[in-house]
């Protein structure tokens, strides 16, 4: 491993036990490996969350720009949904 910085982290007894179990199971060689993997997962989740917020903002703007809501014909919506479902089922059975 390249350069490393040692830091001290306080964990609840439950979290410390999770780290110990992960090492004892043989899945990880050390507690540091467990924490590094957890941080990699956290970084990925943060990245995805940031992208999702951007997507949500885009969809929100798109909805606002599409104009005021119109009354919905729920019967037509259901018919269209059933038509699409039947088309998909027919495609799969070929």
Residue 44 lies in a domain: yes
How many structural domains compose the chain?
A: 1
Strand ranges in 1-94 using DSSP code E only, listed in sequence order:
none
pTM of the model as a whole:
0.55
Q: Which domain holds residue 16?
A: 11-67
pLDDT at 68: 93
The DSSP H or E segment spanning 35 is helix 31-65
pLDDT in tens, 50-75: 888 888 999 999 999 999 988 999 99
Q: 93 falls in which pLDDT band (50, 70, 90)?
A: confident
In order of 45, 75, 83, 84, 85, the CA distances from 80 in angstroms are 36, 9, 5, 6, 9
Q: What's the confidence (pLDDT) of residue 12?
A: 97
Q: Is residue 84, in this structure, part of any structural domain at all?
A: no
Could you tell me the CA-to-CA distances from 71 to 50, 75, 77 in Å, in that order?
33, 12, 12
For the chain, give the percent of residues with pLDDT over 90.
Answer: 77
For residue 49, is pLDDT > 90?
Answer: no
- Residue 73 in domain: no
């Amino acid at each position: 491993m390249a350069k490393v910085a040692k830091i001290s982290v306080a964990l609840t007894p439950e979290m410390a036990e999770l780290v110990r179990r992960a090492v004892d199971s043989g899945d990880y060689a050390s507690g540091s490996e467990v924490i590094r993997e957890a941080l990699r997962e956290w970084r990925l989740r943060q990245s995805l969350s940031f992208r999702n917020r951007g997507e949500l903002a885009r969809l929100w703007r798109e909805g606002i720009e599409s104009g005021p809501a119109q009354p919905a014909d729920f019967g037509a919506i259901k018919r269209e949904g059933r038509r699409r479902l039947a088309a998909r089922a027919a495609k799969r059975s070929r």
